[in-house]
Amino acid sequence: MQKRNIKVVFKDYNHKQNLLFPPNIGDLIDANHPVRLVDKIIDRIDITSVLETYKGGGTSSYHPRMMLKVIVYSYLTNVYSSRKIEQALQQNVHFMWLSGMTFPDHNTISRFRSEKLNGPVREIFEQIVKLLIDQGLVSLKEVFLDGTKIEANANRYSFVWGKNLVRNTQSIKRQLEELWNYAQKVASQEMEKNEPDFKEISPDKVEQVINSIDKALKNKEIDPKIKRKISNARKNWPGKMQRYDHFRKKMGSRNSLSKTDTDATFMRLKEDHMNNSQLKAAYNWQISTQNQFILGYTLHQNPGDTTTLSEHIKELKKTLGKNPDNIVADAGYGSEENYQLLEDNDINAYVKYNYFHTEQSKKWVDNPFRIENMHYNHDKDCYYCPMGQQMGFIKEGKSKTDNGYEQTIRTYRAQNCRGCPLRGSCHKSKGNRQIEVNPNLIRLRNKAREKLLSEQGLAYRSQRPVDVEGTFGNIKHNHGFRRFLLRGMDKVAIEAGLLAIAQNIRKMAG
Ligand code: SF4
């Protein structure tokens, strides 16, 4: 084939040539780029609370407004580690523009995030939410509430279980008492007369008792096994008791903690597409959203959603200046305590309860034996069973939830079930059928049902997964935030605040 003689032309390339006028980095950034929005918003934020964390004296510090812009922008662009932020400051033109070509290292970035933002981050978040309200991007009409568990920066195998702490402490107590009894037998004269109270033992007490036993058995001929046990007890038990005490105090009302982040609790995390759960140290992050803007967030150490509502609505009111009109949430929040809390705060509860969907089924509606389907007579305060027999009031009892909320349970009993043809389907107890009813819960559920089945309720129910679950999906899957980087409740709360700020600015830019 004959070669065609056409000249190839290349563009000029000389990257080592000096520029006569160095370019302004800002010229390289698109006018509508989100980095400009971060810059604009953080410039409008009052950062007095951050400034107050500086003691003064010593060498000059990087400007906190610049540091804040850099950190917020890094959370916006999925850069979460301080080393990666340091790298971005040296390589990424957007970061260079924000930092004004200053280059704080990863230690400075990390210290600023965990020391200077501890507390101020919530204030900054609140100012951004107020900005959203002022701009009419969100209203105080409704919020969609849900929680997600995010893995803590802790070793997966570092668990401490509350029940093991109790069992191990009991075992030391029992063995200590056995050693004391043995010493009493072998060296009764040398032993102190007053037997310690083994019900209440502390690390100091364990040490004291072991020393007393040791002293009393000195120069006595004792079983080598017991000798080894005493030596092991002296070496290990006081230390173990100290550790158990420390973990118990840290654990509080929780049932587990992680040794590497003692504020984190072991929770079941649904990690893969099949929703298979794994037990990992984590935090429970609760958020309230509207149009995928985060209007409130709280961080909790317990996995369940039910107990988080009271703290969450307190924070929400603080941020918004008033309670929202409506809260939309799934059945995880549908307890009597929560319904009452919302009613007391004048918030309409579009909150499901655990059998909301089942009770719509034909099988449920047609089942005459369910308490919910029995007729209640207010005047006579009695129920009527499927045979038309009166079930009269017997007694009233009180019980308390884990949060200390008092519930009233009323018991009603049928007069005579003997010989009833429906008995096999009605109940299995030996005597007459007894039912337990919580009248306040029934009232609150009826109210919630009416709201949920209304037109507004249907619209809210279809928006809830898109709004709040969509926000979690966006942060965890699209922006790759699946594990906190910092340790301890205070520091993890900073990260949660930064995630919420970044989500809101991202939505504003979108
Ligand atoms: S078993 Fe007792 S409570 Fe049930 S339908 Fe018969 S009479 Fe009524």
The series of mean pLDDT values per 10 residues for the chain, 510 residues long, is: 76 84 87 96 96 89 96 98 97 96 96 95 97 95 97 93 95 91 79 74 87 83 86 91 94 94 94 78 98 98 94 96 96 96 97 92 92 93 94 94 90 93 91 94 96 97 97 96 96 98 95
383 Cβ below 6 A of ligand 1: no
386 Cβ below 6 A of ligand 1: yes
Q: What is the pLDDT of residue 388?
A: 92
Separation between Cα atoms, residue 42 and residue 32, nearest integer Å: 16
417 Cβ below 6 A of ligand 1: yes
Separation between Cα atoms, residue 393 and residue 383, nearest integer Å: 9
Q: Are strands 390-400 and 348-351 parallel, antiparallel or unpaired?
A: unpaired
Cα end-to-end distance, the chain, whole Å:
55
Domain ranges of the chain: 25-117, 144-151+275-356+449-493, 160-258, 362-443
422 Cβ below 6 A of ligand 1: yes
Q: Is 324 helix (H, G, I), strand (E, B) or coil?
A: coil
Residue nearest to atom 1 of ligand 1 (CA): 423
Q: What is the pLDDT of residue 86?
A: 98
For the CA of 385, the nearest atom of ligand 1: 8
Tokens of 153: 């920066």
Is residue 430 within 8 Å of residue 424, measured between CB atoms?
A: no
Q: What is the pLDDT of residue 242?
A: 94
Least Cα distance to 472 among 339, 305, 264 occurs for 305
Separation between Cα atoms, residue 395 and residue 56, nearest integer Å: 68
Element (H or E) spanning 107, and its range? helix 106-111
Tokens of 76: 């916006």
Distance, CA 70 to ligand 1 centroid (Å)? 71
Distance, CA 438 to ligand 1 centroid (Å)? 21
Separation between Cα atoms, residue 177 and residue 195, nearest integer Å: 10
Q: What is the pLDDT of residue 99?
A: 96
For the CA of 420, the nearest atom of ligand 1: 6
Distance, CA 408 to ligand 1 centroid (Å)? 25
Best of 382, 418, 423, 428 for a ligand 1 pocket test (most atoms within 8 Å of beta carbon): 423
Element (H or E) spanning 160, and its range? strand 159-161
Distance, CA 422 to ligand 1 centroid (Å)? 6
CATH 1.20.120 fits 144-151+275-356+449-493, yes or no: no
pTM of the model: 0.90
Distance, CA 425 to ligand 1 centroid (Å)? 9
Separation between Cα atoms, residue 417 and residue 420, nearest integer Å: 5
453 Cβ below 6 A of ligand 1: no
Instruction: Enumerate the β-bridge partners of residue 392.
Output: 382, 413
41 Cβ below 6 A of ligand 1: no
Distance, CA 399 to ligand 1 centroid (Å)? 27
